[in-house]
Structure formats: structure tokens, C-alpha cells
Amino acid sequence: MDLDATILARIQFAFTISFHIIFPSFTIGLSAYIATLLVTWKITGRDHFHRLARFWTRIFAVSFAMGVVSGIVLSYQIGTNWSRFSVVTGNVLGPLLGYEVLTAFFLEATFLGIMLFGWNRVPPWLHVFSAVAVAVGTAISAFWILSANSWMQTPAGFEMRDGIAFPTDWVAIVFNPSFPYRLAHMLTASYLTAGFVVLAVGARYWLANRHHEEARTMLVMAIGLTAVLAPLQLLIGDQHGLNTLQHQPIKIAAIEGHWDGSKPGAFEIFAWPNEKTESNDYSISIPNVASLLLTHHLDGLFPGLKSVPPSERPPVANVFFAFRIMVGIGLFMIASALFGTWLIWRKRLYGTRWYLHIMSHTWWIGFVAILAGWVVTEQGRQPWLVQGLLRTADAISPVPAASIATTLALFVLIYGVVFTAGIIFINRLIKAGPPDATAEPQRVGTPARPISAAGDAGGVLR
Amino acid sequence: MISGATANIEFYLPLVWAIIIGVAVVMYVLMDGFDLGIGILFSVNKDEHERDLMMSSVAPFWDGNETWLVMGGAGLFVAFPAAYALFMPALYLPIIVMLLALVFRGVAFEFHVVAGPQKHYWHTAFWLGSTLAAFCQGVILGGLIQGIPAKDGAFAGGAFDWATPFSALCGLGVVAGYALLGATWLAMKVEGPVAERMRQHAKFLIPVVLVLMGAVSLWTPLAFDRIAQRWFSTPNIYFLWPVPLLTALLAYAAWRWLDAGREVPPFLATMGLFLLGFLGLAISVFPYLIPPSLTIWQAAAAPDSQFFMLAGTLVLLPLILGYVVFVYWLFRGKVAAGASYH
């Protein structure tokens, strides 16, 4: 196929998958939070945990719906856009995606019905169980999807016959070399993302002098979670990077803006990688620190971009900048979570309004960090679709560029409308807030009819 | 020929997988069928409160219902990657449009509740999205039946090969069929004037669906020799003639049950109609997965891959069916008017 179709197919796929990943990365974390709230409520019997769970479940419902519909699109787009990829890797990757559907998708989708509509319909233990099942389902889903993605980065356990991959060792395929790191990194990122959303909402309510009890619980739970996970994520990310250096050294060279492998790598704080001159413009860097981080020696050497011809290099600037955005947000998360913990310890959290002000505006940082991280890992793998096996340009479907361009425009239009509406509605739900303690409806034993998950807030709005 | 056990496995595994994918497609058509059908029926039901009621009758289930579509797509990728790689590019446009339509109607389930004054937009999105998705599914089916040309394992046709009068007829058939499923589901799940009107709609739709099914059934053997051969050659015709007869009998029974005000039997009978229609198609198409280019054996994944996945499927599929049944049982009974969402 001509280049135009390849680029259009890539843009279209990048657009739909970036749109999609926003929702699972939020709902993986949020479902775990809701399950935690409900289990805590079951144990302590304190009602505000239950009110909080109801509140977040409405937001979860809207996000999950957007995640489901954009996910269905992807399971078909692999074939519509990358049919050669399907043929070459189907024997290996097909079962991984199949197991995702069987072990996770059905679990989530089915128990979601009980979680959203079972508040008054099923005994509390079954409702709590459903929330846990949904949370576990989302994590299992991540397990399979990240296994498949990791296999594309570090393929293992297969042999090539007539240009098609055949499985030889399923354990090696599923637990391929980069998988444990990627799974840990992504799950932690999801929990952090949800943590910062909860933190922002808690701060917003506290500053607006509303829902005091709920705001306190959200702030303390979110700060506690992120104070553990944000530093941990730095450690996981570091290990992930070392693993990448071993298997995909050129990706690391792009991340570091490291051109010449015969010299130790400098840590580039800022630079503009110039692919024409094969050097960095406007560089502000600390000599030898990249070598120290990656090889644990100041003089350690690691491959540079010039060790391969330009056609074998990823788009350096994108990878380079996306990595810095991700790490910058990560460091901000660590600082704000640890500072928040210190404020809690000094019993000054609720009086430090400037801190709560900043945090009330940081709900989006996790999403940006995740998108940036995926840019690093996916663009960093280019020009390969499956590292060393299949080039992106060879994986394309025989579909005319005009068809792809038309559907791309439709995707942008429709996702734009859906996304905007979704954000507006989630914002409305947040404005409406958790149900009041006094208005809490009878919970147990009433044979009521299904009530919409998001319904109460709709009522408040009118 | 390869002898012994290997040959047997390579013969039976693809067959088993074709049945599993067939089950997933049937499950999808039956379950998302009534839930898309409800959206299609919005065209004759403009009342906002009634529309809320209609949507709430499927709200706890729609997620699970659509998961069967993912199962079908993923199953095809798992078991028959060559077919997946041929089918998707050939039907690129209707597939993408169907998916976009499903996006619109899917988010409407959550959005219409929180939309407040803009509720009617999302009702319209649900109506148009459901109808368009159903029509595209019929077009995709038609595009598959009429055949997909291949060269060296890749799609070798044009971007609009699927756009024929025949596939449009299939599209109409699926829209009418889903509407019938939706009407009998609602006649069973709601009470009062809405249920009564749904019974009337269903009685109108039964002959429409029969005519469309008949038209497709006559068109296929007339236009495609391989299908005429399958149905009208001896001895096949002796085994196959009950299929259309059963269809007609079942349709008549559904009509009588509706007339008598029965609630569950018309819905079951409509599902039976779909099962028979599917059986008829399977008879027409077998052993091809993608007529006339790939049989199920030519399209099959490596036996190792099919086997690895089969082991899990045989354990997990019954479990899944178990909790799907459980959720339907949990939310059994009527969704009454007045006990609306708000």
C-alpha cells in the first residue's frame, strides 16, 4: 500500500486507542476505589462510605460506558486497519485477546449490571461482591491486554514459518520479558490517575465548604494511596526502563536523546532533538547522569541512535518530549503526595488552602501522564509494529486511503461529541455531589425496582 | 493426507471453533437484537417517559449483550485469523459505521439519565444509532453471503463491493427482525399501554419479517449457484424442506400468542425465528467461512492456538452463561411505568 494509507491508518488507530485508554485507565483505578469504599462500609458500618460509593459509581457508569463502546471499536480495528498484522500474529496474539474477553469482559459487563442497578435489589453482600468482581475484572483485562502489547515489544515463545508466527511456548508468550514491568507500571498508573481525581474532587468540596465528611475521607484516602504509589511508580518505571534498555535499546536512546553510543550519556533536562544534524539543539544537560541511571556507572556506555540507520529510528522528538512530560508529572505527583502526607501528619491539611487549591485543579495529570507514557512506548517501537518481526508499513490492510480518511473524520467528529458530552456530564455529577445524609434512601430489604445508576443526580439537576 | 490423530485434530478443531463462533454470533443477535430493537422502536414512540421506560428495561443488560459482539470479533481473530484479515478490510466501511453507531447508542444509556434538559438529544442518538447499527449488521451479513474475493490471502475487491441491493435487503431484514425482538421483549417486560402497543407493533412486524426473510431466502439460490446446489439438489432437499416450514409455523404461533395476550411465548418464538434464519444461512454458506474464498479449514489458526484457547473456552463459557442467566434472573419481572428512573 502507499504511504498515505499507512499514515492515515496510524493516525486513525492512534486516535481511537488514545481516546479509549483514557477511560480504562480511570475505571481500573476507580472501580478499585469503589470496591474499597463498599468493603470499608461493610466493615465499619459508617454511612458516608456508602454515600461516597454511590456518588463515584455514577461517575464510573458514565466513564465505563465510554470505555466499553470505544473498546469494541478496537477489537475490530485491528482487522480493519492492520489485516496483515492479524495474519502474521493471529496464532499468538489471538488467544491472549480471546482470554481477555472470556476472563474479564464478561465478568465486568455482567456484574456491572448488579453494581449499577442492584443497590436496592440485591442483598448488600452480593452488591459488594459485584463491585469487587468488576474491579478484579478490569485488572484481569489489563493483564491480557498488556501481555499482548508487551509481546509486540518483546516477542518470545514462538517460531516463524512462512512469515507467520506459530506459538511454541505459551508461558513464554504470556510472560514475555517486558510484560511484568509494563503491567506493574500501567496498573500503578491507573490507580494513581484515579487517586488524583479523587483528591481533586475532595479538595474541591472542602474549599467550597460542602460535604465535609466525604471530602475529608476522599482527601485522606487519596493522599495516603498516592503517597505510597507515586514513589513506588518511580521505582517501577526505573526497572521498566532498564528492561527496555536490554530489549529495545534504540527506544531508550530516543528517550534520552542519546545519539553517539561511543560516549557516556548525558541527562538531557531540556533539548530539541534534531534528526537532520543527529544532535540535540538548545541542550541543557547534566553530563554522564543518563549513563549512571541506566548502567549504574558514570562512564557506562549504552547504544546511541546513530548505531542504526535513520530508517530504523523512531520519531525521536515525540518520544523524547513525551517521556519528559510523563516523568515531570510523576515527580509532581510524588512531591504533592508526600507534602500532603506531611500536612496530614502536622494536622494542617484542612487549613492549607493554597495546597488544596492546587490539588483541586490537578484531576487531569494522571491522564496526560498515561497518554505520554503510551506515546513513549508505542512510538519508541517504530518503525516496527512487532519489534524485529513486522514493520508497521507492512502490516496495513488493503483499504483505500479515501476510506480511511473518511472514517477518520467520522471518528474525530463523533468521539469529539461523545467526549465533550461525557466530560460535561461527569462535571455535572461532581457538582451535584454525593447524596445528602438525610436523603439517604432505605437500603436493605426493600423490594424496589431497578434505579438508574446515574439517576439521582439527574433528579437533582432538574 | 496426513494420517491418524493429527489429521483428526486438524479436521475437528476448526469445526468446533466454527460452532463456538456461531454460538457467540447467535447470542449476540438474540441479546443485542432486542436491545437494538428497542432503539428502532423509538421511531414509533416519541413520548419521553415511555422512552425512558423502554430503555430501563434493558439498562442492566446492554453491556453484557454487546460483549458477545467482542466475543465474535475476538473469536474470529483467535480461531480464524485469515478470515478475520479478509473480512474486516472487505467490509471496512459498514463495520466502522456500525461501530460508530454503537458508540452513539451505547453512551446514550448513561447520558440520557444525566442529560437533564438535553435528554431528547440522547433519545434521538439512541434511536438513530440503534437503527443504523442494525442496518449495517444486515449489510455486513449480505456482503458476506454474496462473497468476498481474495488473492494471495488478502482482500482483492473494491471499497464498495458490499453496497448491493441484496445487502440493503438484508439490512432491512435485520432492522425489522430486531424491532420484532424488541417489541416482544417489551410486551413481556413492561406493563400498561406501552405493552399493549408493543403487541400491536409485533403483530404488524411478524408478516414484514416473514416477507423479508422469504425474499432473502429466494434471492440467494437464484443469484448464487452454490446456494441453489445446497438446497435443491437431492438428497439435501429431503432434509432441508422442514426449515422454511418450521419458520412459517413458528411465526404463526407467535402471532396467535400475541393475540391471546401471552407474554413470554411470543418472545421465545421470535428468538426461534432468528435461530431458524441463522440455521438456514449456515446451511447455505457451509463449509465456507468467507464464501467463496475460505473454508473453515483454510482459515483456521494453528492447531496449537485453537487448542490453547479451546481449553479455556470450554471451562469459561459455561461459567459466563451461568452468570448471564443469573443476572437476567435477578432483574426478572416487570419494569412498571411510574417506577421510572427519576
d(CA A346, CA B181): 63
Say yes or no for a CB contact (<8 Å) between B331 and A62.
no
Contacts A112 to B, Cβ<8 Å: 63-64
Determine phi and psi for B52, rounding to 5 degrees: -60, -45
Confidence grade of residue A438 (pLDDT, cut at 50, 70, 90): low
The answer, yes or no, to whether the previous bond of B287 is cis (omega within 30 of 0) is: yes
Confidence grade of residue A64 (pLDDT, cut at 50, 70, 90): confident
Question: What is the residue whose three cell numbers read 455529577?
Answer: A429
Confidence grade of residue A17 (pLDDT, cut at 50, 70, 90): very high
Please tell me which of the candidates A70, A100, A118 has its beta carbon nearest to residue B103. Answer: A70
Whether A24 and A66 have beta carbons less than 8 Å apart is answered as no
Is the pTM of the predicted complex or chain greater than 0.90?
Answer: no
Tell which B residues from 70 to 109 touch A, by Cβ distance under 8 Å.
Answer: 70-71, 73-75, 77-79, 81-82, 84-89, 92-93, 95-97, 99-100, 102-104, 106-107, 109
Q: Tell whether B156 is within 8 A of chain A (Cβ).
A: yes
Question: What is the residue whose three cell numbers read 425474499?
Answer: B215
Nearest to B69 by CA among B110, B112, B35, B108: B35
Give B154's strand partners: B151
3-class DSSP assignment, residue A164: strand
Q: What is the DSSP string of B22-64?
A: HHHHHHHHHHHHHHHHHHHGGGG---HHHHHHHHHTTTTTHHH
Give A236's strand partners: none
Q: What pLDDT is attached to residue B186? A: 93
pLDDT (tens digit per residue) in A175-190: 999 999 999 999 999 9
Determine phi and psi for A286, rounding to 5 degrees: -110, 115
Please tell me which of the candidates B79, B116, B304 has its beta carbon nearest to residue A166. Answer: B304
Contacts A395 to B, Cβ<8 Å: none
Contacts B88 to A, Cβ<8 Å: 76, 78-80, 83, 86, 397
Q: What pLDDT is attached to residue B98? A: 92
d(CA B120, CA B127): 10
Tell which B residues from 235 to 294 touch A, by Cβ distance under 8 Å.
Answer: none
pLDDT (tens digit per residue) in B221-234: 888 888 888 888 87
Helix axes A124-153, A83-100, angle to 10 degrees: 150
Q: What single-letter DSSP state applies at residue A363?
A: T
pLDDT (tens digit per residue) in B274-312: 999 888 888 888 888 888 888 989 888 888 888 888 888
Whether A196 and A358 have beta carbons less than 8 Å apart is answered as no
Say yes or no for a CB contact (<8 Å) between B316 and A167.
no
Does residue A442 have a pLDDT over 50? no
Whether A216 and A316 have beta carbons less than 8 Å apart is answered as no
pLDDT (tens digit per residue) in B23-35: 889 989 999 999 9
- Nearest chain A residue to B107 by CA: give it: A65
Q: What pLDDT is attached to residue B1? A: 41
Q: How many C-beta atoms lie closer than 10 Å to residue A219's C-beta?
A: 25
The number of angstroms, rounded, from the C-alpha of A433 to the middle of its chain's C-alpha atoms is 26
d(CA A455, CA B113): 6
Please tell me which of the candidates A110, A166, A451 has its beta carbon nearest to residue B324. Answer: A110
Whether A24 and A190 have beta carbons less than 8 Å apart is answered as yes
d(CA A165, CA A390): 10
Say yes or no for a CB contact (<8 Å) between B81 and A95.
no
Length of chain A: 462
Determine phi and psi for A158, rounding to 5 degrees: -145, 170
Does residue A275 have a pLDDT over 90? no
pLDDT (tens digit per residue) in A329-374: 999 999 999 999 999 999 888 888 999 999 999 999 999 999 999 9
Whether B81 and B127 have beta carbons less than 8 Å apart is answered as no
Q: Which amino acid is at B23?
A: V
Say yes or no for a CB contact (<8 Å) between A90 and B78.
yes
Does residue A213 have a pLDDT over 70? yes
Determine phi and psi for A393, rounding to 5 degrees: -65, -20
Nearest to A451 by CA among A62, A119, A122: A119
d(CA A9, CA B92): 12
Say yes or no for a CB contact (<8 Å) between B103 and A459.
no
What residue ranges of chain B have pLDDT lower than 70? Answer: 1-7, 336-342
Say yes or no for a CB contact (<8 Å) between A422 and B111.
yes
Q: Tell whether B309 is within 8 A of chain A (Cβ).
A: yes
Please tell me which of the candidates A69, A112, A397 has its beta carbon nearest to residue B102. Answer: A69
- Nearest chain B residue to A458 by CA: give it: B114
d(CA A113, CA B58): 10
Contacts A93 to B, Cβ<8 Å: 77
Contacts A109 to B, Cβ<8 Å: 63-64, 66-67
Say yes or no for a CB contact (<8 Å) between B107 and A75.
no
- Residue B152 backbone class (left: φ over 0; alpha: ψ -120 to 50; beta: rest): left
3-class DSSP assignment, residue B267: helix
Residue A270's H or E segment, with its range, is strand A267-274
Distance in Å from the first CA to the final CA of chain B: 67
Does residue A459 have a pLDDT over 50? no
Q: What angle do CA A358, A364, A365 make, to 5 degrees?
A: 75
> Where do runs of H (alpha helix) occur along A122-177?
124-153, 170-174
Contacts B338 to A, Cβ<8 Å: none
Q: Tell whether B204 is within 8 A of chain A (Cβ).
A: no
State the count of interchain CB pairs (< 8 A) between A and B: 263
The 3-class secondary structure across A293-350, one letter per residue, is HHHCCCCCCCCCHHHCCHHHCCCHHHHHHHHHHHHHHHHHHHHHHHHHHHHHHCCCHH
Whether A395 and A82 have beta carbons less than 8 Å apart is answered as yes
Q: How many C-beta atoms lie closer than 10 Å to residue A112's C-beta?
A: 31
Distance in Å from the first CA to the final CA of chain A: 54
Interface test with A, best of B68, B99, B321 (most A CBs within 10 A): B99
Please tell me which of the candidates B59, B78, B111 has its beta carbon nearest to residue A421. Answer: B111
Whether A77 and A13 have beta carbons less than 8 Å apart is answered as yes
B150-151 and B154-155 strand pairing: antiparallel
Q: Tell whether B312 is within 8 A of chain A (Cβ).
A: yes
Length of chain B: 342
